[in-house]
């Protein structure tokens, strides 16, 4: 006798239509929310980012480069202005020195020509020394002699220098012949009516430290005179402006 299997057991479940509808509703809400986010993002970008942003950025870079170039030009102009101002200050200083020299000259000439000025015989108005750049022991000198005791009369004679100092820790005096090679032992000749500047060059021996310098002049009818200067006094002096003149 054949074996017949029993029929399958059937399970009946109720249809849940509400659950399926809820799932589709959630999916739809998420899709709608994402759509709203996309629309909002597009609107924000459209409102805040210009359509020609690249062109504006390019223009901004060009403006920045132009400003940097202008700053460089202004800095160069300031440098030129500073240099011009320095030159102007230098020129003003030079002109002031020239004016001071002219005033000194005017006072000098006035002292010789004024009727009420003190009448002096032969005198040493000034002495100036200039150190030569190529040799620290060689100096140019300029002696200015004057006289207004006898206006119009020629004063003539000889002038010479001597320098006192120390050599090897001992006091020493250098005479005219020690200072000027191949010079006239009697000194340098002068001849003038009112003033004259006599120029020359002297040289100091090695290891000699000068302290003072003496000018001696023998003016024939005006007699002999002498005037002492400290060494620093004549080194700091620029001398008179009557170079190469005699009257």
Mean pLDDT per 10-residue section of the chain, whose length is 247 residues: 58 56 69 68 60 70 84 88 87 82 66 58 88 83 84 85 93 93 87 89 92 91 88 69 44
**pLDDT score at 16:** 54
d(CA 184, CA 92): 44
**pLDDT score at 189:** 93
Residue pair 154/189 in contact (Cβ under 8 Å)? The answer is no
Beta carbons within 10 angstroms of residue 164's beta carbon: 15
**pLDDT score at 70:** 86
- The DSSP secondary-structure symbol of 193 reads S
**pLDDT score at 40:** 66
Q: Which residues have a Cβ under 8 Å from the Cβ of 190 and sit 6 or more positions away? A: 145, 155, 156, 157, 158, 159, 196, 198, 217, 246
**pLDDT score at 19:** 58
Nearest CA to 217 among 119, 113, 147, 118? 147
Q: Which residues have a Cβ under 8 Å from the Cβ of 208 and sit 6 or more positions away? A: 165, 166, 167, 172, 174
Q: Which tokens sit at 105? A: 């000259």
Residue pair 200/188 in contact (Cβ under 8 Å)? The answer is yes
**pLDDT score at 219:** 80
Residue pair 120/146 in contact (Cβ under 8 Å)? The answer is yes
**pLDDT score at 239:** 43
**pLDDT score at 37:** 67
**pLDDT score at 236:** 62
Nearest CA to 144 among 6, 244, 39? 244
- The DSSP secondary-structure symbol of 142 reads E
- Alpha-carbon distances, residue 75 vs 65, 88, 230 (angstroms): 15, 20, 51
pTM, rounded to two decimals? 0.53
Q: What share of the chain is helix, strand, coil (3-state, %, to 5)?
A: 45, 30, 30
Bridge-based pairing of strands 188-192 and 170-174 is unpaired
Residue 203 parent element (H or E) = strand 195-203
d(CA 4, CA 7): 9
Intra-chain end-to-end CA distance of the chain, in Å: 175
Q: Which residues have a Cβ under 8 Å from the Cβ of 120 and sit 6 or more positions away? A: 146, 147, 148, 149
């Amino acid at each position: 006798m054949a074996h017949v299997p029993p029929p399958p057991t059937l399970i009946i479940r109720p249809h849940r239509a509400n659950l399926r509808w809820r799932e589709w509703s959630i999916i739809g809400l998420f899709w709608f929310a994402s759509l709203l986010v996309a629309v909002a993002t597009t609107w924000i970008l459209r409102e805040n980012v210009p359509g020609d942003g690249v062109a504006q950025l390019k223009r901004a870079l060009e403006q920045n480069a132009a400003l940097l170039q202008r700053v460089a030009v202004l800095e160069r102009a300031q440098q030129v202005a500073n240099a011009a101002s320095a030159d102007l200050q230098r020129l003003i200083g030079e002109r002031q020195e020239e004016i001071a020299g002219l005033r000194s000259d005017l006072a000098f000439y006035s002292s010789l020509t004024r009727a009420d000025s003190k009448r002096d015989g032969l005198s040493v108005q000034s002495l100036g020394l200039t150190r030569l750049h190529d040799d620290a022991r060689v100096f140019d000198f300029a002696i200015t002699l004057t006289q207004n005791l006898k206006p119009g009369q020629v004063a003539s004679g000889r002038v010479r220098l001597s320098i006192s100092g120390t050599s090897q820790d001992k006091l020493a005096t250098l005479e005219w012949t020690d200072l000027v090679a191949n010079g006239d032992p009697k000194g340098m000749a002068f001849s003038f009516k009112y003033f004259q500047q006599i120029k020359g060059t002297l040289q100091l021996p090695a290891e000699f430290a000068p302290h003072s310098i003496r000018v001696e002049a023998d003016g024939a009818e005006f007699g002999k005179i002498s005037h002492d200067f400290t060494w620093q006094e004549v080194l700091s002096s620029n001398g008179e402006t009557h170079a190469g003149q005699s009257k």
